[in-house]
Amino acid sequence: MDTMDKPVDSFELSCPPAILFGCGRFGQLPEVVESLVGRQVSGGRCFLVCTRGFVERGGLDLLSLPRSQSPVGVFSEVRPEPELAIVDRLVGAVRAANPEVVVAVGGGSTLDVAKVAAVLAALPEAPVKPYFRGQLRIERPGLPLIAVPTTAGSGAEITRNAVLIEPETGKKQSLRSDLMTPRVALVDPELTLTLPPKATAESGMDALTQAVESFLSKRASRATMALAGTAIGLLLNHLPAAFRAGDGLPARIRVAEGSLLGAMAFAQSGLGAVHGLAHPLGVALGLPHGLVCAILLPHVLRFNAPVCEERLTRLARENGWAGPGRLLERIVGLSDELGIPSGLRGYGLRPAHFPFILENCRSNSMNCNPRPMSDAEVGELLQKLASA
């Protein structure tokens, strides 16, 4: 089989200006706000985007911002798998509050919606739809954004894209701009201690999928493979403990670290067929992104393995595994442990869904898959998923 099983020799690396990682980092928020708005500006005027749960659990007190930096607005209405309309509502709220900095605390959806809104709020008034459709381009930086993830999985705190859904077409795709990258990612593993087991499993498997797809991506460089390879080891070794005993800090730290390193890798290398397929499948079946990724990952890895022998052997060597097949065995074992099913029959996948998925899976992610996947091969994979 034809193989492109080598890292690329020509690449670009860009990371957000600052990643602050570690327990207790959340307490540094006031000084980070201050550093962004500058002391010369009279006090920070933050706009907070967060989950409703964060507000209900007293998160606003946790912020411990001095009075001069207390939020001038709070928006806690973002739900998972966000649609375009929520971006427009947030942009309206941010414009009305006229802040100097936006702070987003939450999972990938919250961070993504905040990333778009922080930029659009500073541009001439227009809805997000023409940007989503590529009819308008983001040409100026927006409000500075501090991204604080409360899950360990999406990587949204450092990436330049936001995944949104256009309900009338069912399109789930990324809106991308370098200007959307958060100015500071404040990653505090302690914030994940209260994440329930199901969300821990789904976000963690999203992180693992991202790391694996980055490692095997057609655009992977030695730099991204080093990050992604480390992320894969961290996530495989520590996700089970984070799932079983969520309040165990050591495992939470390693999973958060794995998620971050994997995101630093895939932000450069792109992803693969799991993410190409997961977006339309998630829309068609109304399932969370991490769950769909977790179910697809072993299937796509089996498909890709014949062209990735060399990389899988390298990964095995680095992790002290017996051989290139060990990654798949470890992933299948982990999925069993986390209670993730092996197919989508139980979630109602039927042939009637296939045309929509075929039509909407040809994204940037699909283009990075190490083995091209024809329509017929996508069809075969969907058939397998529908019967398992």
Binding residues vs Fe ion (CB under 5 A): 206
In this complex, which beta carbon is closest to Fe ion, that of residue 95 or of residue 198?
Answer: 198
The residue whose Cβ lies closest to Fe ion is: 206
Identify which of 182, 39, 40 has the alpha carbon closest to the alpha carbon of residue 110: 182
In this complex, which beta carbon is closest to Fe ion, that of residue 202 or of residue 206?
Answer: 206
Q: In the complex, what is the shortest distance from the CB of residue 290 to Fe ion, in angstroms, rounded to a whole number?
A: 7
In this complex, which beta carbon is closest to Fe ion, that of residue 251 or of residue 297?
Answer: 297
In this complex, which beta carbon is closest to Fe ion, that of residue 188 or of residue 206?
Answer: 206
Q: In the complex, what is the shortest distance from the CB of residue 157 to Fe ion, in angstroms, rounded to a whole number?
A: 13
Q: In the complex, what is the shortest distance from the CB of residue 337 to Fe ion, in angstroms, rounded to a whole number?
A: 20
In this complex, which beta carbon is closest to Fe ion, that of residue 71 or of residue 262?
Answer: 262
Q: In the complex, what is the shortest distance from the CB of residue 289 to Fe ion, in angstroms, rounded to a whole number?
A: 6
In this complex, which beta carbon is closest to Fe ion, that of residue 25 or of residue 299?
Answer: 299
Q: In the complex, what is the shortest distance from the CB of residue 81 to Fe ion, in angstroms, rounded to a whole number?
A: 12
Q: In the complex, what is the shortest distance from the CB of residue 213 to Fe ion, in angstroms, rounded to a whole number?
A: 9
In this complex, which beta carbon is closest to Fe ion, that of residue 79 or of residue 222?
Answer: 79
Q: If phi over 0 gives left and psi between -120 and 50 gives alpha, with beta otherwise, what is residue 58? A: left
Q: In the complex, what is the shortest distance from the CB of residue 70 to Fe ion, in angstroms, rounded to a whole number?
A: 34
Q: In the complex, what is the shortest distance from the CB of residue 206 to Fe ion, in angstroms, rounded to a whole number?
A: 4
In this complex, which beta carbon is closest to Fe ion, that of residue 157 or of residue 206?
Answer: 206
